Every structure is written in C-alpha cells, then in structure tokens.
Amino acid sequence: MPFSLPDLPFEKTALEPFISAETLDFHHGKHHATYVNNLNGLVAGKPEASMTLEQVIMSSDGAVFNNAAQVWNHTFYWHCVKKDGGGLPTGALAEAIDRDFGSFDAFVKEFTAAALGQFGSGWAWLVFDNGKLKVTKTANADLPMKHGQVALLTIDVWEHAYYVDYRNARGKYIETFLAKLVNWDFVAANLAKAV
C-alpha cells in the first residue's frame, strides 16, 4: 500500500479534556484511516501509486483529490495541536502576525470568523501567501497548496472533529483550540520554512 496512516504525534489521552480519546479513536482511527484506505484503493495499479502525497494532490481532482487532500489535511492538523498548547506565539511568528493582522487579538477574531463561517464541512487556515500571513477557509477537502499558498495552521471544522466533545457548539471548540491546544512551535517552524 503506497500510503499509510501516520501515528498521532501524541498519546490518545494527551488532549483531554479538550479533545477526548473517544474523538481521536474515531477521527484518527476511523475517519483519517478511511481516507488512507480509500486513496490506496483508488490509486492501486495507477501512476499515482508511485507519487508522493503532495504530487497526487496537485495533479488530481474528484475522489482521488478528496481522499489524498484529506489524508494530508488530517496529518497536518494533528501537528497543529498538542498537550498544554495555546497561549501566545513568540518570535518571528508573533512579529509576522502583528505586522499582517495588526495584533494577535485581531488574528484570533479573523481566524475564529473563518472557522465559524465555513458553511458545512471544511477547514480554516493561517497561510503564507505572497510574503504575507492570511486567514482563509476551504470547503470539504480543499487546501492551501492547491491555491499556491503555504499552510501554517489549520483547524478541522468538519462535525466529526468536535461533535463528540462539543456537540453543535463549533464556537466553543474553536475558542478552546486557540486557547488550549494550538502548537505554536509547529506553526513557527512552518513559517520559517516558507519565508
């Protein structure tokens, strides 16, 4: 099988009480795993089977794209969160946020609005685009690399990401993600690679 499900970069209970082991059992063990299995089934015996995941994403559409992009999105999302995360970014990342949004609070407002405003399933992002940080949102499996942008941070706002722990309260999930879970070191490393 050309593509495999990466392990979570933390223990399954590490994000409790904010994201439960039950959510991770389903979100990583079922949803993410299913995208990997679907992708392997779709590319079996085809040229895509010997491509990197990024090459598949950039060269495909339809079901192959949807499953490949969801494999990438989820792997990226797991690295965007950590135990004892949240708080404030520092260093060059904090400076870039101040420069491009005016303040950290203004960034939080914009990111929250994007994540809340994504109608139905999708993702909100902090991206690096033409030398600037921007907040974007994408529907379903769509992702920044398909738009020439570099992903720095994402939040999964598909209901499967939060329904077990937050029911329909997407806003509470977004607030908790920013306050308690974001792995700013990962975001800063992504920015350092992008500039």
* Pair 155, 53: CB distance under 8 Å: no
Among 15, 68, 133, 156, binds Fe ion (CB under 5 A): 156
Distance (Å, rounded) from C-alpha 140 to C-alpha 73?
10
Contact segment (CB under 5 A) with Fe ion among 51-59, 138-146, 149-157, 171-179 equals 149-157
Q: By C-beta, is 126 or 191 nearer to Fe ion?
A: 126
Among 111, 158, 177, 184, binds Fe ion (CB under 5 A): 158
Shortest reach from residue 15's CB to Fe ion, in Å: 14
Please report the sign of the dihedral spanned by the C-alpha atoms of residue 29, residue 139, residue 68, residue 191.
Answer: negative
Contact segment (CB under 5 A) with Fe ion among 4-12, 37-45, 148-156, 181-189 equals 148-156
* Bridge partners for 136 per DSSP: 125
* Pair 116, 82: CB distance under 8 Å: no
Q: What tokens appear for 103 in the block? A: 């303040």
Q: By C-beta, is 111 or 158 nearer to Fe ion?
A: 158
Binding site for Fe ion (CB under 5 A): 156, 158, 161
